[in-house]
Amino acid sequence: MPKLSIGLILPDVLGTYGDDGNALVLRQRAQMRGIQAHIHPIHLGEPIPDDLDLYTLGGGEDTAQILAAKHLLSDGGLTRAASAGRPIFAICAGFQVLGQSFRAGGRIVDGVGLIDATTVTLDKRAIGEVASRPTGVGLTEELTDTLTGFENHMGATLLSGEARPLGTLIRGVGNTDEHGASEIAGDTQQRYAEGVVQGSVIATYMHGPALARNPQLADLLLAKALGMKLAELEPLEIPAIEQLRKERLG
């Protein structure tokens, strides 16, 4: 029987918005397929194993972000896991922390540098439903279902280098508003971007939790962690999830 280890990274500081639920969704969807799955919470100050199968990070406030970035940089475990190609899924503050830099507490803070992104400040808080069409780049090549979530952030996250958007906006603000995107003149892809895909990292501003609202994305992460194609995973029919998606995408 296959086994799966899921790292829940810093739930004590990056757990403000219920994004711990993403790890629970991954475990449940694995177990429903007969896969032994265990969640390994790793708290602030604890070493981060670099040999888990899959990692999740959630959202948090400014002080939490600063603490998280400092720990992740000094520990290095998550960076080694990314270098080994282990899937990492990050939400909101976790998204910003994995970039090159972000603004928190009135200053610019160094990020972990796993994605080529810099977060500045939006003119107005982005709050409400967000939806996008998957770009299908890199790790997300097999992803086809519309992505849905709830955004609540003040960050304008500008992508560069090898970073590519996870989705193209249908609704909401996503990574940045027009003011933020204007820092990269004429970049239409930047203006309508939601989330990021780079290497083994997938990050997004979607709360919800995101993987409860996007089962195909959850299964993609499971498949990558298991070294499989998405199509090789046994399908799951859960009517309640389909009803939720219809309501949110309606």
- Total domain count for the chain? 1
Binding-site annotation, residues for substrate: 125
Average pLDDT, the chain: 94
| Burial readout 181-197 (b: 16 or more C-beta within 10 A, e: otherwise) | beeeeebeebbbbbbbb
pLDDT above 70 covers a percentage of the chain that reads 95
| 110-139 pLDDT tens trace | 999 999 999 998 888 999 999 999 999 999
Residue 90 predicted with pLDDT over 70: yes
Asked whether the beta carbons of 59 and 92 are under 8 A apart, the reply is yes
Asked whether the beta carbons of 22 and 56 are under 8 A apart, the reply is yes
Asked whether the beta carbons of 200 and 85 are under 8 A apart, the reply is yes
Token pair for 213: 């609202």
Query: CA angle, 20 as apex, 19 and 21 as ends, to 5°?
Result: 80
**Residue 188 pLDDT level (bands cut at 50, 70, 90):** low
| 133-172 pLDDT tens trace | 999 999 999 999 999 999 999 999 999 999 999 999 999 9
Per annotation, catalytic residue among 38, 40, 92, 153: 92
Q: What is the pLDDT of residue 1?
A: 66
Binding-site annotation, residues: 125
Residue 183 predicted with pLDDT over 70: no
Which residue would you say has higher pLDDT here, 187 or 79? 79
Mark whether 40 is an active-site residue: no
**Residue 179 pLDDT level (bands cut at 50, 70, 90):** low
pLDDT above 90 covers a percentage of the chain that reads 85
For residues 53, 155, 71 and 28, what is the CA-based torsion angle, rounded to 10 degrees?
Answer: -30
Asked whether the beta carbons of 176 and 158 are under 8 A apart, the reply is yes
128: domain CATH number? 3.40.50.880
Query: Across residues 232-248, what is the average pLDDT?
Result: 91
Per the structure, the complete domain to which residue 221 belongs is given by: 3-249
The pair phi, psi for residue 109, each rounded to 5°, is: -120, 140
Mark whether 43 is an active-site residue: no
Of 89-93, 165-169, 213-217, 237-241, the one with minimum mean pLDDT is 237-241
Query: Across residues 90-107, what is the average pLDDT?
Result: 96
